[in-house]
Amino acid sequence: MHPTSDTAAGPVEKPPARPALLLSMAPGIAGRLLDARHRTRLVALARTDPHLVAHDLADPTPAVATALADAEVLLTCWGAPPLTGAVLEAAPRLRAVIHAAGSVRHHLTDACWERGIAVSSAAVANALPVAEYTLAAILFANKRVLHSAHRYRSLRAPHDWQDELAGAGNHHRTVGVLGASRIGRRVIELLRPFDLRVLLYDPYVDAAEAARLGVTPVPLDALCADSDIVTVHAPQLPATHHLLGAHELALMPDGATLINTARGSLVDPAALLPELLSGRLHAVLDVTEPELPPPGSPLWDLPNVLLTPHVAGSLGTELHRLADHALDELERYAHGRPFSAPVLPEHLRHSA
């Protein structure tokens, strides 16, 4: 892409190109994703207006339409509009999409793959905060931190905590990881220093790969039945819809905890709610189905449920990690090198 010239000292790479670039994402995202340092680096790597952000590519403003017609690269993030065939017709020079977030399913279409557009995703960077949240949830759940905090607030008096929490703790507990996705693998990696047994259910991981990961592969029923914690990291696909239903949840031991940081649709809410209302199971839910529980949902007030508003992924300062990853990919592209985290259409059959 960028040829080199030979000298006595060997090949010398020509200066990198500065491709025309357009930002495309939901309103408000760019200001949080890119700080002054990122904007300075962005304009050094690409010909772009860092303050022009396309929120709508189907009916663009004149400024966006002009930038889209010239763009060789789109830098996208959450809320990027779909790249339909009509949009691509208006972007004849487009050669690459660099996504500063995880899944590209929401804005890439078949037309992109047919065009042969190169795609990169920051899914590996976004996996880290989700895995960190999950690790914290696992350790706190086994320690029964939520329960003891509620009880302490209500008692406000001396109490025999050793007796009440005799079954709590992280020594020799079993964690079942559902899905060896990027996040699932990062969770497994973060769990290694702890004295925990880790099971894995993933139909695409064989025994040899499981051994390399340091986990025990098991069927889904066995994972549910044998785990003190079940943590969900499978992609949202038709095959994973309500992957955990009444049968699987009933197999979980009394007092076990379900952690879901993936997608709410992987767990059947009609099956989960009775288990939580009875107090038999505990849950840490960063995602639910629907995404926002109705105001009257028992999930808001159950003492055995920790409900958070889909914050396990990158937020705040963690967004800058996504920007760093995207700009590293842009630099590779400008130098004519392949992306470090390419997304290929065949990847999307089994991933988010």
291 catalytic per annotation: yes
Greatest Cα pair distance in the chain: 82
Q: CA-CA distance, 199 to 227, in Å (whole number)?
A: 8
Q: Which residues contact 342 (CB under 8 A, 6 or more apart)?
A: 118, 119, 120
Task: Find the radius of gyration of the CA atoms of the chain.
Answer: 23
State CA 84 to chain mean position distance: 24
3-state secondary structure of 107: coil
Q: Which of 263, 275, 282, 289 is catalytic?
A: 263
310 catalytic per annotation: yes
Q: Which of 32, 197, 242, 310 is catalytic?
A: 310
Q: CA-CA distance, 158 to 205, in Å (whole number)?
A: 49
150 catalytic per annotation: no
User: Is the Cβ–Cβ distance between 99 and 326 less than 8 Å?
Assistant: yes
Q: Which of 13, 114, 164, 291 is catalytic?
A: 291
The letter for the amino acid at 304 is N
Q: First-to-last CA distance in the chain? A: 30
User: Is the Cβ–Cβ distance between 177 and 199 less than 8 Å?
Assistant: yes
User: Is the Cβ–Cβ distance between 123 and 147 less than 8 Å?
Assistant: no
Q: CA-CA distance, 135 to 137, in Å (whole number)?
A: 5
**Angle at the Cα of 129 from the Cα atoms of 280 and 270, rounded to 5 degrees:** 30
3-state secondary structure of 338: coil
Q: CA-CA distance, 91 to 83, in Å (whole number)?
A: 10
Q: Write out the two tokens for 179.
A: 């899905």
Nearest alpha-carbon partner for 142 in 200, 220, 197, 215: 197
User: Is the Cβ–Cβ distance between 249 and 271 less than 8 Å?
Assistant: yes
List, by residue number, the catalytic residues.
Answer: 263, 291, 310
